[in-house]
Amino acid sequence: MRGGKTGITIQSKQGWYGACVRPSRIDPKCQGAVRRTMKVLVAVKRAIDPNVKVRVKADGSDVELGGVKMALNPFCEIAVEEAIRLKEKGVASEVVVVSVGTSAAQEQLRTALALGADRALLVETNAVLEPLSVAKYLSKVIDQEKPQLILFGKQAIDQENNQVGQMVAQLIGSGQATYASAINQVDGQWVVEREVDSGSQVLALAMPAVVTCDLRLNQPRYASLPNIMKAKKKPLEIIAADTLGASVKEHARLLGVVPPAVRKAGINVGSVAELVDKLKNVAGVI
Amino acid sequence: MTILVIAEHDNKALAPATLNTVAAAAKIGGDIHVLVAGQGAGAVAEAAAKIAGVAKVLSADNAAYAHQLPENVAPLVAELGKAYSHILAAATSNGKNILPRVAAALDVDQISEIISVESADTFQRPIYAGNAIATVQSTAAIKVITVRATGFDPVAAEGGSAAVEAVSAAHDAGISSFVNEELAKSDRPELTAAKIVVSGGRGMQNGDNFKHLYALADKLGAAVGASRAAVDAGFVPNDMQVGQTGKIVAPQLYIAVGISGAIQHLAGMKDSKVIVAINKDEEAPIFQVADYGLVADLFEAVPELEKLV
């Protein structure tokens, strides 16, 4: 347990965090009902397989993606896993996965269904998407679906923007917890432990909330063959992006891509003494 | 053109990353204002006023900003930001948390983790774990940008004498609250600011063995980092992780001990000036980026290194 590792205790009822946020005034009798309809929406992205070493195109226009293996972004996998665990714990009642992109992203949505999501939505568009556009489409989907928790990966490993979750939270006016390492539901709030530069931090968020998932949140499972077969029969709805009424516009233009500077070839030293000599007298760094 | 820089701080001290962010702002050109949003952060505002090149400091001191909750700070920045051409923050966990909300509130896109300024609207940033550097031009009316600290040499912390202006706007969204935090305790220099970093990986075998690295680090005045493998194995806490998903460092000297050199890790340290790899596997990919490689058992080499430096 992550919470256990850092010694953070999550108090229930009358907990001190309860006083900080506008407390949930849900009648205890209704709380069961709330829980029965606790919907978790997970946004996922089709991205380059993390084990592929990308190459810059010869003309420097972009990276080479033709014929490259694609996969579910690793942080999105963690988000899907967390949603499924919340369902297995009886906290969530339904897990819906959504992706914005080309029809090829159906493959990644099927993967998420095979992992245990109940149904999938694809907001289909062939446009080159900036994070704000994705966030706008997703916020329209959220308006329709009304989930109590929206999970994201903390960033996609291709463009490495680390923006969409935060932008969605702003657009729908909800609280956010980025870089989550533990997620608990306590008294009608989401209590989230997050990884920050100086250690860890715990926040309490009113529902609905946006949470972006960090590496240590969980270890995603593998899809079993029977579940992959079953996933083919689960519902996957395709929504044309332009029917959502989001006002998207373009703000950034990719002018070109270059490979990173290549480091000069190094040398192997034979002993610690030689290493110290090089660092002192050649590199001059100690 | 006036640029707003969001100060990185803990209500007590100004974080060094702010100086790198001001350096990026100086490259863009124009007047530079610094916003200090916090509670009881008067000393931070005073420190910000002394930064070379800063024309004005805005101090928003309010209980709502005590823990820099993005739900409260982002509306403040968006409100103030309307008067600026650029809004910059360091790409720290705080900056990355708050700024996309600001961009969405202003209905503009954000440019993340720039490593160079080509012109007032064109920037370079790494993508695909640092395997490609993209040049991006922004047409947004207000350019919202996070700055990778290691891409810019810090400006001088002293020499300026900006006026501090109080900002009274208080935004409390009331949808989130701080519960508690657990800070990792360390007397060594901060990882992202250290001139020398000594990092351990899975090859350290357990957390106890990190004492060898601490001893070496103390002798060198270095910070101690770790690979994701070492963190996931529970050897050390996660705030020590160097890599694509951890901290990005670019010290003068990076000593990788028992680290194979997965691309995830390299993305966090390959801009270091001098890289040393100590590993018993001569095939380890870390040797491809190392300036000096030593194929040896780390449990013999590290104590010997500590004696000799």
Q: Which CATH class is domain A2-281?
A: alpha beta
CB burial of A146-166 (b: ≥16 within 10 Å; e: otherwise) equals ebbbbbbbbbbbbbbbbbbbb
Residue B106 belongs to a domain: yes
For residues A95 and A42, the answer to whether their CB atoms sit within 8 Å is: yes
Same-domain pairing of B10 and B153:
yes
Measured between beta carbons, which residues in chain B are less than 8 angstroms from residue A195? 93, 238-239
What digits encode the pLDDT tens for the residues A32-66? 444 468 999 999 999 999 888 899 999 999 999 99
**End-to-end alpha carbon distance in chain B:** 49
Residue A194, pLDDT > 80, answer: yes
pLDDT at A149 exceeding the cut of 70: yes
Please tell me the least confidently modeled range out of A10-19, A155-164, B116-125, B247-256: A10-19
Mean pLDDT of B12-19: 96
Please indicate, yes or no, whether residues B32 and B122 belong to a single structural domain of this protein. Answer: yes
Q: What is the mean pLDDT of residues B262-275?
A: 94
Q: For chain B, what is the mean pLDDT?
A: 96
Distance CA A154, CA A163 (A): 8
Let me know whether B29 and B124 are in one domain.
yes
- Asked if pLDDT for residue A9 goes beyond 50, the answer is no
Measured between beta carbons, the chain A residues lying within 8 angstroms of B69 are 203
Rounded to the nearest integer, the mean pLDDT of chain A is: 89
Q: Determine contact: B243 vs chain A, CB below 8 A.
A: no
Measured CA to CA, the distance from residue B163 to residue A77 in angstroms comes to 49
Q: Which of B97, B220, B287 sits opposite A166 (nearest CB)?
A: B97
Question: Is B121 an interface residue toward A (CB < 8 Å)?
Answer: no
Two tokens at A206?
A: 């009113």
Q: What is the total count of domains within chain B?
A: 2
Going by pLDDT thresholds of 50, 70 and 90, the confidence category of residue A192 is very high
Q: Is B174 among the domain residues?
A: no
| Cβ–Cβ under 8 Å, residues B178 and A20 | yes
Task: Look at residue B187 in the predicted model and tell me its pLDDT.
Answer: 86
B207, pLDDT greater than 60: yes
Residues B222 and B149 in one domain: no
CA distance A146 to A180: 22
pLDDT of residue A6: 41
Range of the domain at B226: 196-308
Of the partner residues B126, B133, B179, the one whose CB lies closest to the CB of residue A203: B179
Task: Give the per-residue pLDDT at A112.
Answer: 98
Is residue B93 located within the same domain as residue B54?
yes
Q: How many residues can be counted in chain B?
A: 309
> Concatenated DSSP letters for A94-106?
EEEEEEEE-GGGH
Split at pLDDT 50, 70, 90, the class of A158 is very high
Give the per-residue pLDDT at B190.
87
B91 and B229 fall within a common domain: no
Q: Are B262 and B118 within one domain?
A: no
CA distances from B139 to A60, B88, B104, B135, B165 (A): 21, 16, 15, 13, 31
Of all residues in chain B, the percent with pLDDT exceeding 90 is 94
Domain boundaries, chain A: 2-281
Higher pLDDT, B244 or A142: A142
B137 and B19 in one domain? Answer: yes
Which pLDDT band holds residue B226 (cuts at 50, 70, 90)?
very high
Lowest-confidence segment of A223-237, B37-51, B179-193, B295-309 by average pLDDT? B179-193
Q: Which residues contact A240 (CB under 8 A, 6 or more apart)?
A: A124, A125
Identify the pLDDT of residue A2. 39
Chain B (7-66) residues lying within 8 Å, Cβ to Cβ, of chain A: 10
pLDDT of A20 higher than 70: no
Residue B149 sits in the same domain as residue B56: yes
Q: Which of A208, A205, A201, A209 is nearest to A3 (CA)?
A: A201
CATH of the domain at B61: 3.40.50.620
Residue B309 has its nearest CB partner, among A6, A268, A286, at A286
pLDDT at A36: 61
Task: Say yes or no: B9 and B128 in one domain.
Answer: yes
Structure token digits, residue B128: 């695909």
* CATH code for the domain of B205: 3.40.50.1220
Residue B248 in 3-state DSSP? coil
**Rounded Cα distance, A182 and A213, in Å:** 9
